[in-house]
Structure formats: C-alpha cells, structure tokens
Amino acid sequence: MNVDPYTPHAGDARIRVEHYDLDLDYKLSTNRLTATAVIDVRIAQETTTFGLDLVGLRAKKVRVEGLPKAGFSQTDRKLKIALGAPVEAGTVLQVAVDYAGAPKPRRTRWGALGWEELEDGLLVASQPTGAPTWFPCNDVPYDKATYRMRVTTDPGYAVVGSVPPKRSTSKGRAVWDFDIAVPTATYLMTLQIGQYDEERMPLGAVAGRVFFPRGLTARVHADLEDLARMMTVFEEAFGPYPFAEYTVVVTADELEIPLEALASAIFGANHIDGEHGLERLIAHELAHQWFGNSVGVARWQDIWLNEGFACYAEWIWSEASGGPSAHAKALAHHARLADLEQDVVLGDPGPDAMFDDRVYKRGALTLHALRLTIGDEAFFRVLRTWTAERAYATAVTADFIALASAVSGSALDAVFSPWLDQSAVPPLPAGPADTEAAPITGPILGLGGTVPWDRSRH
C-alpha cells in the first residue's frame, strides 16, 4: 500500500517500525554483505500481509515471532511477508530477516542512491530512497525508529556512524557497535568506512569528531576551523543543537554533493579546498541537523522545510561571519530566480523537481519574506519554537504556517500562499530596509574566538 506519491514504490501504510536491530558482516575486498535485521513492526491497520523495502539483496530466511506459519516472497523492490492469519492494529511483531548479497546503489530519477563503494571503503547516501540497498525497511520519511547496528568488517579501517561506537574484535575482525536512541528516518541512517584519521573537534558544549584521509589534513583543518563559531551562531538562531555529538567525514574520493545524515555530514575531497571556498556547504549540512534530521518532513512534498531552511542558514552564517547580509543574499537570489523559468510550485514541486536548486532558494526566500513581515524577534522565536516543539518528530507545511501564525500573533496565510502555491516568484515584502546592502539586525551579536581542536588521534 503506497504512502507517498513522490516515492510510490516505497513504504507500506499498514505498518510502523519502532526499532531496527542490524547485524552486518561486510568484506571490503569482495563487497560481500551478510546480515540479519531484527525489526519491531507495529501493525497500523489489520492485515494478513505487509511489505518491507529491500533492493539488490536477497532474503534467505524470514521469521515472525509467534507466527510459525508466516512466509515470504521477494520482488526487485519488496520483501513481502505473509503472516498466515489476520493481525490486529496495534500488535507489535518482531520480524527477523537473514539476507545477503553484493550491495550497490539503486538507480533512481534522482541519481544513484544508497550503498556505494569508494576507492578504499564505502559510503551510504540514501536520500530519499537508498536505505533499502543495505537493510530491509519501511522507507518513508515519517516512519522514524530507533536503531542498534553492529558492523563486523576488515581491521585497519575506521567505521563511522551517527554516534560514537563501542569497538571490539572477534576472530581477527573488527566489530563496531552503534546505538541510536533518537527516532531516525531510514534515509538518514549512515555508514561510512575508510582509512581515516579521527580527531576530536569541540563545538562549544557539543562534542565533535572529524574523520579524514591523512593527506587532506591541512585542508580539513583550515576549512573546519570556524565550525565551532558556526555552531554557536546556529544555536542562538535555531535553539540548542538537537543531538549529543556532530560528526564530519571527508572522503578521499570526490563526491557530487555533500550528504547529510543523522548527527553527521559527509563531504568529498572536492568540497574541502583549504580556502573556505565552499563554506556555505558546511553551514548547509550543519543546519540540516535542526531542519531535516531532528524536525523531519512527513512527506517529500514538503522538502522545502528541509532544504529552504538549510539554505537560509547559509545566509544567516554569511551575515554573522562578516559576509553579505541575509537581506543582500535574498535580494541577489530573488533577482536570479526572476530570470529563470518559473514553473516550480514550492509547496508541491513534484518528484522530479524536489531537489531543484530553485526549491532551495525559493524556500529560503519564503523564510526571508516571513522575517521581513514579522520582524527579527518574532522570526527567530518562530524558528526556535519550531525546533523545540517538533524535535525528533515530523511535520508538514501547514504545521509550520500554523506555528508561525501562533507565535507571531499574525495571520500569515496571505504571506505564505504566494510563495508556496504559485509558480511565479512573488516580490519580497518591503520590510524595515529594502536596499541592496542593508543588513537586518538580528540576534546574532558576536562570534567569539575560534575554539582549538584537540588534535589527538583516536
């Protein structure tokens, strides 16, 4: 039963997943994965069957605790589980799946997604439908779950997930255990393996870690030196950082785009130039921890709640770090959008356009129009309230409009509608200052000094 028209082959409305327990044994030299997933599935509506998403890997055995007559079949996209009898809504079933294969990316309209081999290691980049390339799942953004993940692999490599692991050895192989206690969408689950150095990177009160090839050390140190100040700016603007730690991975390989994952970001060697040339990308991925990873979208139609907010964070950082003001950025991007084809509706861009840069910039401009309308104090109060009240949950656009209206004390449908419901780019409100270089004085007052790294290897 399809649940999201943007990804019509993903997910099953008859279930919700509460917890994934993944035991992964991976051989790098042969790209061979042998695994068991034990999944706590809550039945959302009475059914005799349901499906899990699994792509490119073959299920060998499926067991459903308490249902000895359960069986399974598999297509190229789905693992279909027959329960043998009707199961009532609210029942929690523990489903164990043994599976194996040579994982690889799946081909989609958004490019290759999921498990990808690197020159010497691997990365996982799943947004929006790549998670089934490495574990069976209910691959829809609203179905957040907790995870335990054990990875057994070749020694001599760093294995990176969203939280610090416990490390051990077994029969000469390295074992890495991860426990993820915050509800997480399947596409935000990550696994990175490589020959990386690890350094601690204090980010104010937030613990930070960075993994990178030794040959990129100088470039990484230079480009990430302001990350602690960036964290301070974003915590002031958006509220407390929502996770216990933040991890940055820089691969030796070049990547097409940076990748966000739960409590982490992954950059290619081409994104780290040692000259702060792509600093906006560092800001963008950090901002996703609030917008996308903590407060998630319930449906892909509302992707602007992730990408528009992260794009606007780039402009906030620009202003706070002495670059062009957010207002100057907004005016410049508004002028550029006015010269482009105007055939994207922000509130429902369609699956082909959901990652179009015009969605990102129009989303940011929508926030700037809100800021101009209600003023800085109310605007940043809206953002901080949004991240607090929706932490670790999901939302749709109507939720944000309702919250912004309630927090600001203003009816805002007329402000949002032209930006969200029409393809033509509307004019920005005049606001308190409508000149090209005029800054808007916000709550970001000072950045303080750079916090030194503890550059001991671990």
pLDDT tens for 391-427 read: 999 999 999 999 999 999 999 999 999 999 999 999 9
Predicted confidence at residue 250, as pLDDT, reads 97
Q: Are residues 300 and 441 in the same domain?
A: yes
Q: Is residue 85 part of a domain?
A: yes
Q: Are residues 427 and 338 in the same domain?
A: yes
Q: Are residues 326 and 358 in the same domain?
A: yes
Task: Look up the pTM and report it.
Answer: 0.94
Tell me, what CATH number does 159's domain have?
A: 2.60.40.1730
Binding site: which residues? 284, 288, 307
Rounded mean pLDDT, 361-379:
98
**3-class SS at 361?**
helix
Least confident of 28-32, 306-310, 314-318, 433-437: 433-437
**Cα–Cα distance measured from residue 252 to residue 270, given in angstroms and rounded to the nearest whole number:** 9
Q: Is residue 455 part of a domain?
A: no
Q: Are residues 116 and 20 in the same domain?
A: yes
The residue annotated as part of the active site, out of 260, 285, 314, 319, is: 285
Predicted confidence at residue 455, as pLDDT, reads 44
Q: Is residue 101 part of a domain?
A: yes
141: pLDDT strictly greater than 60: yes
Q: Are residues 30 and 168 in the same domain?
A: yes
Q: Are residues 42 and 78 in the same domain?
A: yes
CA 222, 227, 229, 234 dihedral sign is positive
DSSP string, 377-411: HHHHHHHHHHHHHTTTSEE-HHHHHHHHHHHHTS-
Tell me, what CATH number does 414's domain have?
A: 1.10.390.10
The residue annotated as part of the active site, out of 20, 147, 246, 360, is: 360
Report pLDDT digits (tens) over 211-225. 999 999 999 999 999
Q: Is residue 457 part of a domain?
A: no
Which of 236, 227, 160 is closest to 192 using CA atoms? 160
Report pLDDT digits (tens) over 165-202. 999 999 999 999 999 999 999 999 999 999 999 999 99
pLDDT band at 430 (very low <50, low <70, confident <90, very high): confident
Q: Which residue shows structure tokens 């069957």?
A: 49
Q: Are residues 313 and 173 in the same domain?
A: no
Q: Are residues 132 and 213 in the same domain?
A: no
Q: Is residue 456 part of a domain?
A: no
With a CB cutoff of 8 Å and minimum separation 6, the contacts of 245 are 163, 164, 206, 207, 208, 209, 263
Predicted confidence at residue 73, as pLDDT, reads 98
**Cα–Cα distance measured from residue 132 to residue 134, given in angstroms and rounded to the nearest whole number:** 5
Predicted confidence at residue 243, as pLDDT, reads 98
Report pLDDT digits (tens) over 341-353. 999 999 999 999 9
Rounded mean pLDDT, 67-93:
97
Task: Based on the residue annotation, tell me whether 285 is a catalytic residue of this protein.
Answer: yes
Report pLDDT digits (tens) over 251-281. 999 999 999 999 999 999 999 999 998 999 9
Q: What are phi and psi of 432, to 5 degrees?
A: -75, -20
Q: Which range of residues forms the domain containing residue 77?
A: 15-191
Q: How many domains does the chain have?
A: 3
- Of 168, 191, 214, the residue at which a domain comes to its end is 191
**Cα–Cα distance measured from residue 244 to residue 229, given in angstroms and rounded to the nearest whole number:** 17
- Of 289, 317, 332, the residue at which a domain comes to its end is 289
Number of other CB atoms surrounding residue 96 within 10 Å: 14
445: pLDDT strictly greater than 60: no
Cα separations in angstroms, 73 against 58, 86, 103, 406: 10, 18, 19, 49
Q: Are residues 82 and 179 in the same domain?
A: yes
**Cα–Cα distance measured from residue 156 to residue 372, given in angstroms and rounded to the nearest whole number:** 53
Q: Is residue 46 part of a domain?
A: yes
**Cα–Cα distance measured from residue 264 to residue 286, given in angstroms and rounded to the nearest whole number:** 8
**356's tokens:** 């179009």
pLDDT band at 247 (very low <50, low <70, confident <90, very high): very high
Task: Based on the residue annotation, tell me whether 88 is a catalytic residue of this protein.
Answer: no
Tell me, what CATH number does 236's domain have?
A: 3.30.2010.30
444: pLDDT strictly greater than 80: no
108: pLDDT strictly greater than 80: yes
**Cα–Cα distance measured from residue 125 to residue 120, given in angstroms and rounded to the nearest whole number:** 16
CA 13, 142, 285, 348 dihedral sign is positive
With a CB cutoff of 8 Å and minimum separation 6, the contacts of 365 are 330, 333, 334, 337, 419, 425, 428
**368's tokens:** 């700037």
Query: What is the pLDDT of the chain when averaged over all its residues?
Result: 93
Binding site for Zn(2+): which residues? 284, 288, 307
**Cα–Cα distance measured from residue 125 to residue 373, given in angstroms and rounded to the nearest whole number:** 37
Q: Are residues 378 and 419 in the same domain?
A: yes
Q: Is residue 409 part of a domain?
A: yes
Q: Are residues 169 and 220 in the same domain?
A: no
Q: Which residue shows structure tokens 């953004």?
A: 141
Q: Is residue 308 part of a domain?
A: yes
Residues paired with residue 23 on neighbouring β-strands, in sequence order: 36, 150
**Cα–Cα distance measured from residue 327 to residue 434, given in angstroms and rounded to the nearest whole number:** 8
- Of 169, 191, 213, the residue at which a domain comes to its end is 191
Strands 32-43 and 92-101: antiparallel
Q: Are residues 319 and 271 in the same domain?
A: no
